[in-house]
Structure 1
Amino acid sequence: MAISVVDIIFAAIGVFLLRQLTRARPPAPYPPGPRAYPFIGNLLDMPTQQEWKLFSQWGQVWGDIMSVNVLGQTMVILNSPKLAVDMLERKSSIYSDRPTLTMGGEIVGWKNTLVLTGYGDRFRSIRKMFHSVIGTKALTTQFLPVEERETRRFLKRVLSKPEEIAEHIRWTAGSIILQIAYGYIVKDEADPIVDIVEKATEQFSLATAPGAFLVDIIPALRHIPDWVPGAGWKKKAANWGKTLNDMTNVPLDFVKRQIAAGIAPPSFTQSLLEGGDVVPEEETTIKWAAASLYSGGADTTVSAIYTFYLAMTLYPEAQKRAHAEIDAVIGCDRLPTFADREHLPYVEALVKEVLRWNPVTPLGVPHRVTEDDVHEGYYIPKGSLVIANIWQILHDPRTYSNPLEFDPGRFLKAEPEEDPRSFCFGFGRRICPGMNLADASIFISCAMSLAAFDIAKVVDASGNVLEPVLDNTSGTISHPKPFPCSIKPRSPKAEALIRSIE
């Protein structure tokens, strides 16, 4: 007899009730939170868009540590930097696992990338690979020429078609990471590998968004037939899985062909494949490590640099001050380089403020606790999902003055405010391994763009100013929604400098 959706739902209810009846009395109270209802818990309370904002509102009612329950799954939300550090870093031995995400991880296949790999031997193997190639600032210096060269090409593309700024940012981020990860030189126009990776990373954000798919809450739904009404998500998952498969295999095959021909340029993948005898299992790990580098690093820089252009449109005084510093230190006869970074303190502060003001991953990726814990008098049961509300942490008025304002000067005070890079790249053993590359890419893009362009609000033919709105997409990785902006060379000399780029 065929199993129906109703059968699956009733089975899930039965399992939940059995767990409730057999559950031992906890040693301490759960963190506070909104009232839960029988069986469904807080299912009806959970937001489906920009979850970080509601979690921040809840934090004002329930405190810096709070919890909700969704169909028996405990979710602990941390709304302060102290709690995030105390739990996710100082207790990282039990707070470094990842949850099983049925849609994005198990069905689509993202569980093989570092961001969703469970804490264990495979996780440590991938981390070791990253550390051996890009784990320190010193190691990443070998890739800085790529960052500078591709960012100069970015300026030329923006000069040609400023209205396509979002596409230029994404193309450049893809070009940089593909060279670093695979030694692959991106085509000037539409590039098939860039297209694949862009599509896959967008799908990752959608597939892993909290609460986006019911199958993440009721995993047994993955077994329902494709023809059942409401099962259209299964076709979507199959298409997304194919895209992910192409994203990992196509560039890997490119590197292997280059190595076989003896013409492979230096890259993350090349260095690992040619580092000794590589068995098939190790090659698979290398493949997913490289995919992790691309899928994480590229989308981080895309969102941050687009945020930079939005901030410069909305805050002309900050741009004016950055222009003055670049003119005084660099002059107008060349573009900034990484060698100039230590001499550009305001531009450095501006980069920090870009990362703080509009964080790329507002909720990060949930951690999973592997042992029962009691923290600050609250019980955190084994298997709980622990979410650091990075957006709230970076907008907490106890840490940042006027947190909704874009103010690079906050980092130049006699007592600077907290460096957002301590939080925005993750916590503990789950800090983004490509953070040094991402930080370098964001800096050089901001510095060169400031040297080359005036970024301003658009004025239409009737003289009306088109005001950009700060609004973001939902998902694990959040991007500013499209906004109007005017991008013009700062001077005829700046335009000539850009046009001279090869």
Structure 2
Amino acid sequence: MAPSLFILDSALVVLGLYILRRYFINKNRPPVPPGPRGLPFVGNVLDMPTSYEWLAIAEWTKRWGDIIHVNVLGKHFVFLHSAEDAVALLDKRSSKYSDRPTLTMGGEMVGWVASLGLTRYSDRFRESRRFFNRIIGTKNALRPFHELVETEIHKFLRRLVYTPENVHEHIRKTASGIIMKITYGYSVTEGKDPYVDIVDKAMENFSVTTTPGAFLVDVLPILRYVPSWVPGAKFQKLATEWRAETMAMAETPFAMVKQQMREGTALPSYTKNLLETETLTPEKEDNIKWSAASMYGGGADTTVSAIYSFFLAMTMYPEIQQKAKEEIDRVVGKDRLPTFADRENLPYVEAVVNEVLRLNPVAPLGVPHRASEDDIYKGYFIPKDTVVIANIWALLRDPEMYPDPSAFNPDRYLRPNPDRNPRDFVFGFGRRICPGLNLADTTVFFTCAMALATFDISKAVENGVVIEPSGEYTAGTVSHPKEFKCSIKPRSFKASSLILAEFEQ
């Protein structure tokens, strides 16, 4: 009888503590932010969207306002839909919101927990940021790579001359070429490249596995121990396959650099620099490996999305494209390509790129933050361990900050009182802001500027019928334009000659 009495007593104690906490201790505590009511025990499981979350959750603001709380099987989520709230919490209170939540599927099972983006706020995180800041963290640090960026973009222009129908593939090749050269000293090959293929697979998996609500195991971590043969446990097989691809992305190019260093053939790179200058321990070497993988994996995929969005926008808005070309012709002329020195004199092109970044941000929900302690904001209680997500897509569509927010209008940044620069938000917040933002910003701007200087981009025509792009985007942590057809032709014979001459040099 004793064991039964013990269990009964324990249950009564737990029930008593719950009642005490629920009705007395928490009685004077502020409420959590408003949101869907949810069901007993399971909370808002049935309310959570499974794709295009940023669109569905933005609709909730019409009923519950800009700060929305949901409870999924006991796990708290808070979604922020205004710049004021995102900055107030994730920037100004970054000491409380710089951690990352544990993502069981994408982080632990698939292996992305070792990457900088999902690393907990820790000494490892701070060391990785130090690595980044030293090599590419500032505009001055990036200057030695300007020539490399220009060279890779010239290759991109040349590819467009010969096979413009493969623009998406060429964008990916260019972004990969820049980052692989900086990170590992590796020059990507024309056609299929084994390293690019490895990263493409891994980043597709990252986008799927880190989407909030995509996998139940993220809110019920115990499910990770369910055998793969159990019906409904398909995620176990996927995790095994995707983990192998994640590990290959981090380890294959890193091993290549180490081998080249032993042979004395390694070219200057981020990885080589750190391996030569840091006092190596197994932990530090692992961090160098994963910070390099984070630079390549994170930077390549987001840059591709932004540049492809630019080509979509120029296809859909020819009058804006023409205005940007006129500015380039006036400032640069037609006898050379734009250079880094021209940027400050191309405000309209800058505004076009701003609007590309604003209208369809590459990471609509960013990467989730975690509250490392209890907090109170605007009279609402945010419990410790709450997952806090800024709906970047929604705040960049805020009509108070961006009048007529659905319109593609670069002039909004050139008025006497310009709209807020979307770069303030699209690269993240606080101590978790993207460490590669200067490289990404430079690559995107100059790819767009050089394409405008040399090509006419328009809607494709097939059998006399104009093909209208859908303008649709993919779901996932990183959102890309769905593939579309467009016509890309050199502006003139002189433009073609200039591209080929630059490449030959």
Aligned equivalent of 1:123, options 111, 115, 125:
125
Tell me the secondary structure at the aligned position of residue 456 of structure 1. strand
- Counterpart AA for 1:192: P
Select which of 383, 386, 394 maps to 1:384: 386
Deviates more, 1:16-25 or 1:348-357: 16-25
How many Å apart are 1:277 and its aligned residue?
3.3
Measure, in 2, the Cα distance between the counterparts of 1:222 and 1:351. 42
Aligned mates of 1:169, 1:93 — CA distance in 2: 37
Pairs within 5 Å for 1:78-227: 78-227=80-229
The correspondence of residues 13-412 of structure 1 with structure 2, limited to 5 A, is 24-25=25-26, 27-412=29-414
Q: Which amino acid aligns with 2:428?
A: G
Residues 216-256 of structure 1 deviation map (CA, whole Å, 9 limit, x = unaligned): 12111110111111112111111111111111111111111
Superposition TM-score, scaled by structure 1 size: 0.95
Q: What is the identity, as a one-letter code, of the residue corresponding to 1:185?
A: S
Distance 1:471 1:364 in 2: 19
**Deviations 1:353-398, CA, capped at 9 Å, x for gaps:** 1111110000001100011001000000001000100001111100
8 Å Cα contact 1:17-1:39 kept in structure 2: no
- Note the C-alpha offset of 1:276: 4.0
- 1:210, CA displacement in angstroms? 1.0
Q: Which amino acid aligns with 1:488?
A: K
Runs of at least 5 residues in structure 2 that lack an aligned partner in the other structure: 1-13
Letter in structure 1 aligned against 2:340: F
For residues 141-164 of structure 1, the C-alpha deviation after alignment (integer angstroms, 9 at most, x for no partner) is: 111111110011011111211111
SS in structure 1 of the partner of residue 376 of structure 2: strand
Equivalent position of 2:9 in the other structure: none
- Aligned counterpart, 1:497: 498
RMSD of equivalent CA atoms: 1.5
Deviation at 1:19, TM superposition (A): 9.4
Cα distance in structure 2, aligned partners of 1:392 and 1:486: 31
Which residue number in structure 1 is paired with residue 479 of structure 2? 478
Amino acid in structure 2 at the alignment position of 1:395: R
Query: Residues of 2 paired with 1:19 and 1:281: CA distance?
Result: 42
Q: Could you report, residue by residue, the CA deviation over 1:94-128 in whole angstroms, capped at 9, with x for unpaired residues?
A: 11110100000010110000110011111111111
Q: Take 2:280 and 2:366, find their aligned partners in 1: how far apart are those partners?
A: 33
Post-superposition Cα deviations, 1:479-501, rounded to whole Å, max 9, x if no partner, equal: 01111211111111112222332
| Aligned mates of 1:196, 1:29 — CA distance in 2 | 47
Provide the C-alpha distance between the structure 2 equivalents of 1:19 and 1:420, rounded to a whole number of angstroms. 47
| 1:135-183 CA-partner distances (Å, limit 9, x unpaired) | 1110011111111100110111112111111111111111111001111
Instruction: Work out whether residues 154 and 169 of structure 1, in 8 Å CA contact, stay in contact via their aligned partners in 2.
Output: yes
How far residue 17 of structure 1 moved from its aligned partner, in angstroms, is 9.2
SS of 2:388 mapped into structure 1 = strand
**In 2, Cα distance between equivalents of 1:478 and 1:276:** 36
5+ residue gaps, structure 1, are 1-15
Q: Distance in 1 between matches of 2:142 and 2:204?
A: 26
2:83 corresponds to which letter in structure 1? P
**Length-normalised TM-score, structure 2:** 0.94
Amino acid aligned to 2:352: L
Superposed displacement of residue 311, structure 1: 0.3
Structure 1 CA distance for aligned equivalents of residues 257 and 98 of structure 2: 32
1 CA distance for matches of 2:16 and 2:167?
55
One-letter identity of the residue aligned with 2:153? T
Q: Partners of 1:276 and 1:118 in 2: how far apart?
A: 22
Aligned amino acid, residue 447 of structure 2: S
Amino acid at match of 1:491: S
1:413 and 1:128 mapped to 2: Cα distance? 38
Residue identity (%): 56
Amino acid at match of 1:208: T
Aligned to 1:8: none
What's the secondary structure of 1:93's corresponding residue?
helix
CA drift at 1:60: 2.0
Inter-partner Cα distance in structure 1 for 2:398 and 2:260: 49
Please give the residue correspondences for 1:464-475 in structure 2 after superposition, counting only pairs within 5 Å. Answer: 464-475=465-476
Q: Deviations over 1:285-340 (max 9, x none)?
A: 10011011111111111000000000000111110001101111111111111111
Deviation string 1:400-429 (CA, Å, 9 cap, x unpaired) is 111111111111111111010100000001
Q: Which amino acid aligns with 1:284?
A: D
Equivalent residue number for residue 488 of structure 2: 487
Aligned residue pair count? 486
CA distance in 2, matches of 1:210, 1:471: 20
1: distance between equivalents of 2:268 and 2:355? 33
C-alpha distance in 2, partners of 1:19/1:335? 71
User: What is the CA–CA distance in structure 1 between the aligned matches of 2:232 and 2:67, rounded to whole Å?
Assistant: 36
Structure with larger Rg: 2
CA distance in 2, matches of 1:364, 1:314: 26
